[in-house]
Amino acid sequence: MMKATAVANANIALVKYWGKRDKKLILPQNSNISMTCDGMTTTTTVEFSDKYKEHSVVINDEEFQKDEKDIHGHIDRISRLAGIKDKARVVSESNFPVAAGLASSASGFAALTVAAAAAAGLKLSPKDLSILTRQGSGSACRSIFGGFVEWHRGKMPDGLDSYAESIVDKNYWPEFRMIATIVQKGKKPVTSRAGMAQTVETCPYYEGWLGTVTDDLKMIKEGIKERDFKKVAQAAEHNCLKMHALMMTTKPAIIYWIPATIEIIQNVLAWREEGVKCYFTIDAGPNVKILCLEKDEKEINKRLLKLEGVIETMICRPGDGAKLIDKHLF
């Protein structure tokens, strides 16, 4: 029997990944940058054994129903690489809502890949783990690393130059905060994968997105290295709004925002006018992440929790990359 358990944190993009240039290999249209979020974790145990007749996957105590996130296919990919034919049992638990625009697939596939690779006897470098993880879920390749991370677009058709790597580790800017503000826990109506495909195919402004994202990457990467909060947060907010503008102008329009999303946006803008240093970013979903510094986190969190539409918040600092642990889930 071969068993391993891994834990991985979610990551939230500061420069968004929205659109694939190769759907099968999951190669992005543009490079992107994220922060790995301490405290938004997925733990996954994988066991390969000849006693299993088929793969089984349990996520948060529910049997996985196959959808476009092909978990079984990803396990097969790892099995082929390791040269094993045994089937796998997978049990996974996340401490935050899944499929709600909070990057659950990022932490999920990162933890799955690290655990399954170890259980299968593979010994892979972080770069190779990132390439392998990317083929299951694009954004998950960033959760292999901690701190602030860049996923390179790459140019090669086989995807071997499309991988994530650390810009700086979690200790480089410990004062940086991201407050995940949950306004809806249910699954979003349009998955990220379907939304990206629709946007690339139908949005008349997509070329404009690709034409400006290089400047966003440069600005945010410089800002991270300089620890310049305004530079990073301002560019991240603008990048987020550009991405949602793309979605809103596809056919049919994709609008993830709900009234509570707008409520938070409007309040963040008002608080900033008052001198509170905070900005927002939103992935493909209704839930908003607030960017701030440690000195302002308590005040901002207190204000967020007073808003009618806010269910709960999670305060995240830069966190660790995916890693193996000794405590199994079964």
pLDDT higher than 60, residue 68: no
Predicted confidence (pLDDT) per residue in 150-204, tens digit: 999 999 999 999 999 999 999 999 999 999 999 998 788 888 889 999 999 999 9
Taking all residues of the chain, what is their mean pLDDT, rounded to a whole number? Answer: 95
pLDDT at residue number 284: 92
Share of the chain above pLDDT 90, in %: 91
Q: What does the pLDDT average to over 39-55? A: 96
Q: Phi and psi for 77 in degrees, rounded to 5?
A: -60, -45
Can you tell me which residue has the tokens 């005040």? 299
pLDDT at residue number 278: 98
For 88, the 3-state DSSP assignment is strand
Measured distance CA(87)–CA(155) in Å, rounded: 34
pLDDT higher than 90, residue 103: no
Predicted confidence (pLDDT) per residue in 232-274, tens digit: 999 999 999 999 999 999 999 999 999 999 999 999 999 999 9
pLDDT higher than 60, residue 27: yes
Q: Where are the domains of the chain?
A: 2-173, 176-316
- Assigned token pair, 208: 């404009």
Identify the sign of the CA torsion 272, 277, 278, 279: positive
Predicted confidence (pLDDT) per residue in 115-148, tens digit: 999 999 999 999 999 999 999 999 999 999 999 9
Alpha helices in 151-228 (DSSP H): 192-202, 206-226
Class of domain 2-173: alpha beta
pLDDT at residue number 211: 97
Q: Of 3.30.1330.40, 3.40.50.720, 3.40.50.2030, 3.30.70.890, which CATH number belongs to 176-316?
A: 3.30.70.890
Identify the sign of the CA torsion 98, 101, 107, 110: positive
